[in-house]
Structure 1
C-alpha cells in the first residue's frame, strides 16, 4: 500500500504582491502523494501548477500552510528532490557524461564511483552512444533524457517535473512519455508531473489532479485505473478515451460554483 504522505501539501496558499495589488496564485490547496506514486497535475493557465511545484522544490515559500516531504517542512532546495523543467538547463560546455556527473561532485568524492553512477543512468535513458557528446549535438528529446538522467543520478526521493516535454514535437513527446514510464518502472521514485496536455496526464499517472484558476485551487482528483506497463495501443483504447474525456471536461468546462477541494465538493458562491 502506498504511503499517503511522501509529499504533503497542507492548506497552502501563495499570495504575490504586484505593486499595490495582490494576486492569489494558490488558495488553500491540500494534496498528499504516496511513495512511488506518479501524479500528474493539469489545469488552465494561471491555475498555480508551477507555483505549487516551486513550493515543493524549495524555490519559494507558502504565504500560509505547509509543504512537507516525509513529514518535514520544505525549507529550500535539496538533492532529495530532483527538479526537471521544460528548459533543459544543461551546461553547454559539458558532455552528457559530465552533465550527469555534475550533481554528484559534492556527494561522491571518488571519481571512478561518480563515473559508474553516471554511466548507469545514461544507459537507463538510452544515451550511452552519446555520452561524450555536447548538448549542441543532441536533439530536444535527447537533451531532456540527459536532464532526467542527471536528476536520477543524485538518487532523489522525489522527481518534480514542470512541463518537461512541452517544447518537444508530438512524436518525440510520445517517445519521451514511453521512455519516462519505462525508467520509472525500473527505478521507481515518487513523481509529481505538471502538464497542460490531457492525454499526457492520463497516460502517465496513477492519479490526475485537475486545478482551477483565479485563484489556483484543486478542482478534482481523478484516479487512473489503467494497468502498467502502458503502451501506444492503450492510448487508443476505449478506457483511455473515457478517462481523457472526463478530465478534458473537468479542465475546460469547470463549474465555478463548486469544486473538489480538500474536503470534497465545496460551494464557492
Structure 2
C-alpha cells in the first residue's frame, strides 16, 4: 500500500498570555491508503491539532502535511471531517442535510437524491430520511453526520471524537456501524479518541501520543481480524492489547520502548 496521509516533521505552537504552548513538536507519521488508524493520548497532546492539519483547518508552523503526495493547503472534498458536535442544519431533514454538500458541489437534483439515499441507507437511516434533527437521538444525529460525509465520496475520513458525547451503549453500537460502513466502502480513516477500548476495537494501528510537547510516543499494531465482534472484545488478545495501549497512555513517565514516528 501507499501512504495516503503523510505528516512530515510538523510543528505547531500557540501563543498564550505569558508563554508559548507547543502543541506538536517535530511529528512524523504515515497513514496508508484504506487504513483505519486511531489516535489516543492524554489531554493536550495535540491529537485534534494533528487531525486539523490533515483537514486543512490548521497550518503547521514547520514541516508539511501531504495527501496523495500533494501538500495540504486548505480543506478539500477528498477529505470528509466529522466532529463530536453533529453540526446538522436543524431546518433540514436527514436527506436535506446529507444532500447539502452535494448541492454545493453543483450536482443535479437527481444525482443528489441518488447519492444521499445510498449514504442514508449505508448508515441505517432510510426510515428517517424525512425526519428533522430535533426528532433524532444523539446516535442517529451522528449517523446522519457520517452519511453526509460519505455522500460526497471522500477518500479520507477525519473523525475527531465523534462518539464522545454518546452514552456507552449507543457508542458501542455506532462503533460497529462505523466498521460495517467502512467494510462496505473502504476509506482511509483517522479517528481521534480518548477511549482506549474504542481505539483498540476500531483500528489496525493505534497511535499513542504524549503531551508537553505533543509528539508520538508509541505506535501499536492491532493484530485482530476484521470484522470485529463482541466476542473479540472479551478475548484475551483484546485484553492484552487494551492493557498495552492503556499503559502507554497513562504511564508515560515509566521507561518504555518508545516507537519513533
Which bin holds the TM-score, normalised by the shorter protein?
over 0.9
Specify the SS of the correspondent of 2:130.
coil
Structure 1: which 5+ residue stretches go unaligned? 263-269
Residues 105-153 of structure 1: CA deviation (Å, up to 9, x unaligned): 1324310111010000000000000000000000000000000000010
- Is residue 29–residue 261 contact of structure 1 (8 Å, CA) maintained in 2? no
Specify the SS of the correspondent of 1:250.
helix
Note the 1:191-230 alignment, pairs <5 A: 191-230=189-228
- Is residue 217–residue 261 contact of structure 1 (8 Å, CA) maintained in 2? no
Runs of 4+, deviation exceeding 2 Å: 106-109, 255-262
- Is residue 205–residue 224 contact of structure 1 (8 Å, CA) maintained in 2? yes
CA distance in 2 between partners of 1:210 and 1:50 (Å):
13
CA distance in 1 between partners of 2:235 and 2:255 (Å):
33
Note the 1:6-85 alignment, pairs <5 A: 6-85=4-83
CA distance in 1 between partners of 2:253 and 2:88 (Å):
41
CA distance in 2 between partners of 1:14 and 1:108 (Å):
35
- Is residue 96–residue 134 contact of structure 1 (8 Å, CA) maintained in 2? yes
CA distance in 2 between partners of 1:117 and 1:167 (Å):
28
Structure 2: which 5+ residue stretches go unaligned? none
Aligned to 1:91: 89
Aligned to 2:120: 122
2:259 pairs with 1:260: yes
Question: What TM-score does the superposition give when structure 1 sets the normalisation length?
Answer: 0.95
CA distance in 2 between partners of 1:9 and 1:213 (Å):
18
Shift of 1:20: 4.6
CA distance in 1 between partners of 2:218 and 2:91 (Å):
44
How many residue pairs match? The answer is 260
Aligned to 1:243: 241
